[in-house]
Structure 1
Amino acid sequence: MTDTHPDTRTVVVERDLPHSPEKIWRALTRSHLIGEWLMETEFVPEVGHRFTFSAEWGEVDCEVQEADPHRVLVYSWNAGELQSVVTWTLTPVPGGTRLKMEQTGFKRDQPRYYGGARAGWPQFFDRLELVLERLD
């Protein structure tokens, strides 16, 4: 976990996965797959597309800011008072892909959001890996 600005905090999760960038991109951008590892959504990987992640605890309002297939995906992640940005970076490495997720914008007075992200993203990655294992 790194701090990029004195007034905000960032959560970073990075893993090397034994899958191609194309396969990981599918799991990051297809609504039915996203619903299996993250939350229910009607996601479309097009800049400007607005969508919502839905879970039993509530909703997250989002908008796609960048979508470079198999390389970079960026969207806003706004829930309650939290105004943040999630950036996915896919980098080919020997034997697979390094997948990095960086969520920026946690204010110092938002420990609940920051703590939730620190605890939640590694679990989401675990579930993503299970989805990837069964994809062709």
Structure 2
Amino acid sequence: MDTTTQQTRTVLIERDFPHPPAKIWRTLTEPHLIAEWLMDTDFRSEVGNRFRFTAEWGAVDCEVLEIEPQRLLSYSWGDGDLDTIVTFTLMPVAKGTRLRMEQTGFRSTQPRYYGGAKQGWPRFFDGLEQVLARLD
């Protein structure tokens, strides 16, 4: 009997933005803004809310796990095979906000998902930066 625990991998991105936490929070929680930098969604900012991200390549099913307004947002992220958790943490810094995104739970048998997340999240953050730059 194999009693070893399967190792999981994590994708971690941190970036400082010259904007206050409240402004970044809006881009993480308002569906029309999320759609501009991430994907179309029916997200609602409520623990337990089940929502979906959709793109031309398919969909991701999610559920809000934790919310601390302007500080922390966590939700499940999966497609039936993938079962990960995405957590955004906002930390005030001298010139704005440090946004940390951590996606945990990639199994070693999922190199395609892990590689996609490693390449995708920096591009999503680039899009987020563009949305923030034009937001009032």
- The structure with the largest alpha-carbon Rg is 2
Matches within 5 A, 1:1-136: 7-136=7-136
Distance 1:134 1:9 in 2: 34
Deviation at 1:45? 1.1
Give the partner amino acid of 2:66.
E
Structure 1 unmatched ranges of 5 or more: none
SS of the residue aligned with 1:130? helix
What is the alpha-carbon distance in structure 2 between the residues aligned to residue 45 and residue 105 of structure 1? 23
Q: Which moved more, 1:76-85 or 1:9-18?
A: 76-85
Cα drift, residue 6 of structure 1: 6.0
CA distance in 2, matches of 1:70, 1:100: 13
Tell me, which stretches of 5 or more residues in structure 2 are unaligned?
none
Task: Give secondary structure in 2 for the equivalent of 1:70.
Answer: coil
Identity in percent:
65
Computed over aligned residues only, the root mean square deviation of the Cα atoms, in angstroms, reads: 1.0
The CA distance in 2 between the partners of 1:44 and 1:88, in whole Å, is 16
> Deviation digits for residues 65-89 of structure 1, max 9, x if unmatched?
0011000000000123110000000
* TM-score, normalization by structure 1: 0.95
Q: Does the residue aligned with 2:33 lie in a helix, a strand or coil?
A: helix
**CA distance in 2: counterparts of 1:65 and 1:39, whole angstroms:** 19
- In the alignment, the residues of structure 2 paired with residue 42 and residue 81 of structure 1 have an alpha-carbon distance, to the nearest angstrom, of 21
What CA distance in whole angstroms lies between the structure 1 residues aligned with 2:6 and 2:64?
26
Aligned structure 1 segments of 4 or more residues deviating by more than 6 angstroms: none
Secondary structure of the equivalent of 2:116?
helix
CA distance in 1, matches of 2:12, 2:51: 23
Asked if structure 1 preserves the Cα contact closer than 8 Å seen for 2:6 and 2:107, the reply is no
